[in-house]
Chains A and B, each alone.
Chain A
Amino acid sequence: MTTNQTLSSSAPGAVAAEAAASTPTRRSGGLDVRGLHKVLGGRTIIDSLDMTVQPGELVSLLGPSGCGKTTTLRMIAGFLAPDAGSIKVGDREVVHLGPEQRPSAMVFQNYALWPHMTVAKNVGFPLKLRKAPKLSKSVIAERVEAALALVNLVHHKDSRPARISGGEQQRTALARALVQEPELLLLDEPLSNLDAKLRVKVREDIREIQQRLGITTLIVTHDQEEAMSMSDRIAVMNQGRIEQFSTPSELYSAPATEFVATFIGSLNRLEGRVEDGRVVGGEGVVGIRPEDVVFVEDTDGGVNGARHSAVDGLAATVERVVPRGHFAELYLRREDAELRAFVTGALPSVGARGYARIEKWLDFADGKLVRQEVAQ
Chain B
Amino acid sequence: MALPPIVLIALFIGFPILLALGFSLGFTGGLNHTISVIGQNVHEAQGASPTFGAYGDLFVDRRFLGDLGVTVIVTLVSTTAVVVLATGIGLYLKFRGGVLGKILSGLAVVPLFIPVVIASWAILGFYSADGFLRSVFALAGLEFPVWSFSMVTVIIGSVWTSLPFATLLVTSGLQAVPQAMIDAARDAGASFWRVVTSVVVPMAGVPIIIATTFTAIGILGSFTVPYFTGPNSPNMLGVDMSNYFSAFNQPQQAVVMAFVVFIIASGIAAVYVWANFRSAKESGAV
Interface of A toward B, CB cutoff 8 Å:
77-79, 98-101, 104-106, 108-110, 112-116, 125-126, 129-130, 160, 162-163, 176, 180
Asked if residues A105 and B187 are in contact (CB atoms below 8 Å), the reply is yes
- Give the segment of B112-120, B198-206, B247-255 that binds chain A: B198-206
Question: What residues on A are CB-neighbors of B198 within 8 Å?
Answer: 125
Asked if residues A112 and B184 are in contact (CB atoms below 8 Å), the reply is yes
Bound CA span A114–B283, Å: 11
Question: What residues on A are CB-neighbors of B186 within 8 Å?
Answer: 78-79, 98-100
Report the count of interface residues on B (CB-CB < 8 A): 21
Nearest-CB residue, chain B, relative to A108: B180
Asked if residues B190 and A77 are in contact (CB atoms below 8 Å), the reply is no
Q: Which of B188-218 contact A (CB under 8 A)?
A: 188-191, 194, 198-199, 202-203, 205
Interface of B toward A, CB cutoff 8 Å:
178, 180-181, 183-191, 194, 198-199, 202-203, 205, 282-284
Question: What residues on A are CB-neighbors of B205 within 8 Å?
Answer: 116
The 8 A-B residue pairs whose C-beta atoms are closest, nearest first, are A126-B188, A112-B184, A112-B180, A162-B284, A129-B189, A99-B186, A100-B189, A116-B202
Question: What residues on A are CB-neighbors of B191 within 8 Å?
Answer: 100
Give chain B nearest CB distance to A73 CB in angstroms.
11
Asked if residues A129 and B183 are in contact (CB atoms below 8 Å), the reply is no
B188 is contacted by which of A79, A116, A129 (Cβ under 8 Å)? A129
- Residue in B181, B184, B198, B202 whose Cβ sees the most chain A Cβ within 10 Å: B184
Give chain B nearest CB distance to A100 CB in angstroms.
5
B180 is contacted by which of A98, A110, A129, A160 (Cβ under 8 Å)? A110
Asked if residues B282 and A100 are in contact (CB atoms below 8 Å), the reply is no
Supplied contacts A79-B183, A160-B282, 10 more A-B pairs, CB within 8 Å: A100-B189, A100-B190, A100-B191, A106-B187, A112-B181, A113-B184, A114-B181, A114-B184, A116-B203, A162-B284
Question: What residues on B are CB-neighbors of A116 within 8 Å?
Answer: 202-203, 205, 282
Question: What residues on B are CB-neighbors of A99 within 8 Å?
Answer: 183, 186-187
Bound CA span A108–B189, Å: 15
Nearest-CB residue, chain A, relative to B202: A116
Bound CA span A255–B10, Å: 76
Nearest-CB residue, chain A, relative to B188: A126
Question: What residues on A are CB-neighbors of B283 within 8 Å?
Answer: 115, 162
Question: What residues on A are CB-neighbors of B183 within 8 Å?
Answer: 77, 79, 99, 106, 108, 112
Nearest-CB residue, chain A, relative to B180: A112
Interface CB pairs A-B, < 8 A, 14: A79-B187, A99-B187, A101-B189, A105-B188, A106-B183, A106-B184, A108-B180, A108-B183, A108-B184, A112-B181, A114-B181, A125-B185, A125-B190, A129-B194
